[in-house]
Structure 1
Amino acid sequence: MKKTLFVLLKVLGIILLVIIALLVIMYAVNAVSNRSEEAKIQSYGQHVTVDGKNMNVLIQGSGEETIVLFPGYGTAAPALDFKPLVDELAPFYKVVVVEPFGYGLSDITEKERTIENITSELHEALQQLKIDRYILMGHSISGIYGLEYVNQYRNEVSAFVGIDTSVPAQGGGEELPVDAMKMLKDSGFYRLLLKLSPDQVIAPDVDEETKEQIRILTLRNMMNANIANESKYFDDNFKAVEHKQFPADLPLIFFLDGSSTDVENWIPMHEEQVKDSINGKVVTMEDGTHYLHHQYSKEITEQFRAFMSEIAAD
């Protein structure tokens, strides 16, 4: 009996040592890979100074009207994530992709990620670029930031376009398990998961080089200080706009995933947002995902242009 117990303890000890060794190797490989990948990051866009920090902005196209694109929460590299949509819009518009602090190639800021700070930083970036009249187009949580933004800077925004955007009525939800997610990243386990299942990297249909840049920036930016802090303000930021509406005279169009079941009454809540708009519209796209701009960039561009042409003709 004692011999059996000794053998069992020995086996358990060996298993424990193997697990510890694997964790140490995984951590070391991740640390070395992080350093080597930093040198592989390819610059895109340009920097503008906002509150003493560098904010990265990509500008493409030279149309008379300007479209400003703002990303959904946690998008690792917004300018690369929006690439299919930018390519479709650029022949007709000047397209500006703003990467908030902590996103893409932008710096990290010490400021709290409140809705007031996020929107004022976006405005300051556009001011630095001398852009004072534009269409604001946002994805996901940008529906919340966009609602605040157009109420603050109504005279500058000529239309708002939502791509499966959040609405105040859905609420901020529960705070993300930030510490656990950071542990996954810092331990190297998240890197291993992406290695075993590359499809977990959220990326549009782009060339392999761009996909690799998105992978690198995903590993670098996941749950950094700004993105982690932003999640802590979800509830406060949603509550900040729960009694606000889009101005009735502002052209407003939402492109929604028609098959979404993640949020109850997803489509009716957006229909409620446009009901008082002089020019408001909800477009549903079946068989889509939350990242409609990955799949339907051409359709979004065509339908938006048709929407604006109808308004101009009235």
Structure 2
Amino acid sequence: MCVTQEREKTPWGGTKTRKVVNILLKVLGAIVIAILLFVAIVYTVNKISSHSEQKRMETYGQHVSVDGKRMNVTIQGEGDETVVILPGYGTASPALDFKPLITELSPYYKVVVVEPFGYGLSDQTEKERSTANIVSEIHEALQSLHIDRYILMGHSISGIYSLDYVNKYPNEVRAFVGLDSSAPALSEKKIDSSMTRPLKILRELGFGRLQLKLGADPYDGLPYDEQTKEQLKILINKNMYNTTQLNEAESMYSNFIAAEQLTFPVNLPVLFFIQKNHPATDRWIPEHEKLIKDSVHGEVVLLEANHYLYRSHAKEIAEKFRGFMTSP
């Protein structure tokens, strides 16, 4: 009798367990299908949008041959002196991003914006993104345009590249202006391929576009016309997480370390525009002051602004810069 009862309970319990397992498998299957469908939609939308944007993208500037590839450069203004502007890391379109500052400078200077490989309308490259290579490429671009005497103006990571540049070409650079430029002692964290590989995959799947769609507009409330903002969005989607820029991110730590051994030439005029209240470190101002402590003509200007201070304080920067360059 007892054996019979046990046999009756066992099938009943097994059936109930199987039902629960089947329900869980169906739920899991539905979740997997939903995720795959979502990924497929994001991928498809990105492909269609990219194709559409390619047709709407407007060209600007001119291409120069550098290392067998095309580097895009814009030139505006006809002043006697030349200002060469270099972008911060990841700037989608330097020529458009610096537009407010270009507008303020071009009545007085010849303003040249170099778009390094992987930026703006320039080609990508598989060459290592070491400071030496980047500096050499920028110099080659300027040489091809017969620009051999100029003021170098760099934002963010270009401060690291410029530190190397002014030491390699001291007879060409008349002054350096840092736009919240990086300081060698405040190194970026080390990034390797294990960190950039997922970004490449996310880019291919279209999640970079989704991220931008859900994020805040970085140009909202700033002096950019609607056409410029539309082109900036197109180029952000085009260049975000591209292979060249990710390679540059992987090289960034070693580039910072190499720059720690460099100083600005004593006789080179150096002007820093930096944010007054850095959100991540209290060493931002002191480290910039150290960089010019031995300079014959050096100055630090503090601005109530964020890292992209040239977008919001272009007029103030241009006026202060002009005064700095004409002062004895």
For this structure pair, what is the TM-score category when the shorter chain's length is used for normalisation?
over 0.9
Q: Residue 253 of structure 2 is aligned with which of 235, 242, 252?
A: 235
Q: Deviations over 1:45-87 (max 9, x none)?
A: 1111111111100100000000000000111111011000000
Q: Deviations over 1:280-308 (max 9, x none)?
A: 0000112x100010110000001111111
Moved segments of 4+, more than 4 Å: 200-204
- Amino-acid identity (%): 55
Q: Residue 109 of structure 2 is aligned with which of 72, 93, 108?
A: 93
Structure 2: distance between partners of 1:182 and 1:62: 41
Q: Residue 299 of structure 1 is aligned with which of 316, 320, 325?
A: 316
5+ residue gaps, structure 2:
1-15
State the shift of 1:203 in Å.
10
Structure 2: distance between partners of 1:155 and 1:38: 41
* Alignment length (residue pairs): 310
TM-score, L = length of structure 2 = 0.90
Within the alignment, does 1:49 sit opposite 2:65 as a pair? yes
Residue of structure 1 in register with 2:300 after alignment: 282
Structure 2: distance between partners of 1:51 and 1:193: 34
Structure 2: distance between partners of 1:129 and 1:204: 32
Within the alignment, does 1:183 sit opposite 2:183 as a pair? no
Residue of structure 2 in register with 1:118 after alignment: 134
Residue of structure 2 in register with 1:35 after alignment: 51
Partner of 1:136, secondary structure, is: strand
Within the alignment, does 1:248 sit opposite 2:266 as a pair? yes
Q: In 1, are the aligned partners of 2:268 and 2:295 still within 8 Å (CA)?
A: yes
State the shift of 1:3 in Å.
3.2
Partner of 2:154, secondary structure, is: strand
Structure 2: distance between partners of 1:56 and 1:12: 50
Residue of structure 2 in register with 1:142 after alignment: 158
Inter-CA distance 295–119: structure 2 relative to 1 (3 Å threshold): same
Letter in 2 for 1:33: S
Structure 2: distance between partners of 1:236 and 1:276: 25
Partner of 1:169, secondary structure, is: coil
Letter in 1 for 2:113: V
Q: Name the stretch that deviates more: 37-46 or 54-63.
A: 37-46
Letter in 2 for 1:226: T
Inter-CA distance 201–186: structure 2 relative to 1 (3 Å threshold): farther
Partner of 1:16, secondary structure, is: helix
Q: Residue 99 of structure 2 is aligned with which of 75, 80, 83?
A: 83
Inter-CA distance 108–203: structure 2 relative to 1 (3 Å threshold): farther
Structure 1: distance between partners of 2:325 and 2:162: 19
Within the alignment, does 1:133 sit opposite 2:149 as a pair? yes
Residue of structure 1 in register with 2:39 after alignment: 23
Letter in 2 for 1:251: P
Structure 1: distance between partners of 2:20 and 2:74: 66
Q: Name the stretch that deviates more: 174-183 or 288-297.
A: 174-183
Structure 2: distance between partners of 1:269 and 1:284: 13
5+ residue gaps, structure 1:
none
Structure 1: distance between partners of 2:319 and 2:302: 14
1:141-290 equivalences in 2 (<5 Å): 141-175=157-191, 177-199=195-217, 205-286=223-304, 288-290=305-307
Q: Highest CA radius of gyration, 1 or 2?
A: 2
Inter-CA distance 213–198: structure 2 relative to 1 (3 Å threshold): farther
Q: In 1, are the aligned partners of 2:149 and 2:172 still within 8 Å (CA)?
A: yes
TM-score, L = length of structure 1 = 0.94
Letter in 2 for 1:154: P
